[in-house]
């Protein structure tokens, strides 16, 4: 069982394996500033997948200009859009976060830079940190033609940047219905700051956001 599955299972009274003592926080990368900047006006919505949705939600909930970050499932059907089924890795869903943002404060390309600097390692295939399986894949889900153009340009730029030694493994996926995750997954970092998983894996992402993107960091967690 993936580590996050263990922690949720423990909270629900389900038996699971124990935390590996050797687990460490993920690496922080100096993802490049986007050469192709997004041209957007008015509130926009984006969907990102990058491993456990708790950490991605936490990072964007602390990002200035983000008005909402919601954990959920993308890429599968309604009938299997539940945590107990998605963690099997057989439903086609990715754990994802739907982000609503104000492009006059933060652009789509800047959200991508943050995601792949402090949120997720873009070279990992079907895994992030301690979690394994296709539900933990890294994916960008463009919501319009502008986002798609920016995402395609940025992935190509990341591959040329020399920041990563391994090939970029991020997929661009067509938008399908986004299913909001169960209530106990929403604002998880805020509600469970002492969780072993949060302390070990996700709180360091927020600290890296503050250290590496101080102009984009918001100390208050934006709920909802």
- Of 27, 44, 202, the closest CA to residue 116 belongs to 27
Q: Rounded to a whole number, what is the distance in angstroms from the first to the last CA of the chain?
A: 28
CA distance 149 to 140: 12
Dihedral, CA of residue 60, residue 62, residue 65 and residue 71, to nearest 10: 30
The position carrying tokens 């502008």 is: 146
- Pick the catalytic residue: 52, 71, 114, 150? 52
23 three-state secondary structure:
coil
CA distance 95 to 82: 10
CA distance 173 to 220: 31
CA distance 144 to 161: 26
Q: Which residues, including other chains, have CB under 8 Å from residue 126's CB and lie 6 or more apart? A: 132, 133, 134, 136, 137
What are φ and ψ of residue 57, in 5° steps?
Answer: -60, -45
Is 17 marked active-site? no
Structure tokens at 143: 């919501």
Residues classed as catalytic: 52
């Amino acid at each position: 069982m993936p580590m996050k599955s263990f922690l949720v299972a423990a909270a629900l009274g389900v038996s699971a394996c124990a935390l590996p003592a050797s687990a460490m926080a993920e690496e922080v990368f100096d993802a490049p500033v986007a050469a192709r900047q997004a041209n957007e006006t008015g509130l926009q919505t984006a969907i990102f997948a990058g491993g456990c949705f708790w950490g991605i939600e936490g990072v964007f909930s602390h990002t200035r200009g983000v008005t909402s970050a919601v954990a959920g499932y993308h890429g599968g059907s309604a009938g299997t859009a539940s945590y107990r089924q998605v963690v099997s890795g057989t439903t086609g869903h990715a754990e994802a976060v739907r982000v609503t943002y104000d492009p006059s404060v933060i652009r789509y390309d800047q959200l991508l830079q943050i995601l792949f600097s402090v949120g997720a390692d873009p070279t990992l295939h079907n895994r992030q940190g301690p979690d394994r399986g296709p539900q933990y894949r890294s994916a960008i889900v463009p919501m319009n033609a502008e986002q798609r153009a920016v995402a395609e340009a940025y992935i190509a730029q990341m591959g040329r940047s020399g920041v990563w030694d391994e090939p970029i493994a991020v997929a661009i996926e067509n938008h399908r219905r986004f299913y909001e995750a169960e209530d106990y997954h929403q604002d998880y970092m805020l509600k469970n700051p002492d969780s072993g998983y949060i302390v070990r894996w996700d709180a360091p992402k927020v600290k890296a956001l503050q250290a590496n993107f101080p102009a984009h960091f918001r100390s208050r967690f934006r709920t909802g």
